[in-house]
Amino acid sequence: MPLLERVEITGVAAEGKALARVNDKVLFVPFAAPGDVLDVQVRKARKHYMEGEVVNVHRLSSMRVEPLCEHFGTCGGCKWQHLPYEKQLEFKQQQVTDNLERIGKLNFDHVEVLPIAGSDKTTFYRNKMEYTFSDRRWLTRDEIDSAREIEDQQGLGLHIPGMFDKVLDIKKCWLQEDPSNDIRLPSGILPGKKGCRFLTCVQMRAC
């Protein structure tokens, strides 16, 4: 698959992906932002679009903010933490109107589209979370590059995007308020059945 150099991200797409256009094809890139200039390794190529991942950064967008979560970029729970909340609302509104116009064939000359009503809470707003146990958790790039023996293989967390059989051990999740994290962390050391890579799920629901 080709390596595309100095690609400028120009917009956003569904599922939290950013997009660019390269040689008359749409390129989807996760965890990027409009204004980024990146080298992108293509992982999937189809007739009209490509999907890739960032391998090098030439310039980061001035639009970016620092993500709250230490797991951002690996976990699939939050896709736009690197964008201001006001921009997230703007891009979501754009997706709604684009879909209504392109797929629904809606004529906006006679339709008033009201702005999305944002929430006062941008963290700890979920009342239910579901986590998965694994006795062979996902190793981060830093752990792999360290070349040290990893003895702690147990994990309790969320799935890696697109990989149902891979579980990232979550230290702190910003989606559900405490005591969610306090309950989950001790639960992650529960012993599993020998030879089972997936054990069970645990649900946490706020009252």
- Tens-digit pLDDT profile for residues 136-188: 888 887 788 887 888 778 888 998 888 888 899 999 999 999 898 988 887 65
**Phi and psi for 88 in degrees, rounded to 5?**
-60, -45
- Give the pLDDT confidence score for residue 193 in this predicted structure: 47
Give me the residues paired with residue 157 across strands.
132, 169
Domain borders along the chain are 3-59, 128-205
- Give the pLDDT confidence score for residue 33 in this predicted structure: 97
Residue 25: is its pLDDT beyond 60? yes
The CATH superfamily label for domain 3-59 reads Nucleic acid-binding proteins (2.40.50.140)
- Give the pLDDT confidence score for residue 108 in this predicted structure: 84
Residue 201 confidence class, pLDDT cut points 50, 70, 90: low
Give the three-class secondary structure for 109.
helix
Q: How many Å apart are CA 200 and CA 44, to the nearest integer?
A: 32
**pTM passes above 0.85:** no
Residue 204 confidence class, pLDDT cut points 50, 70, 90: low
What residues contact 88, with CB distance under 8 A and at least 6 apart?
80
Residue 206: is its pLDDT beyond 80? no
- Give the pLDDT confidence score for residue 194 in this predicted structure: 47
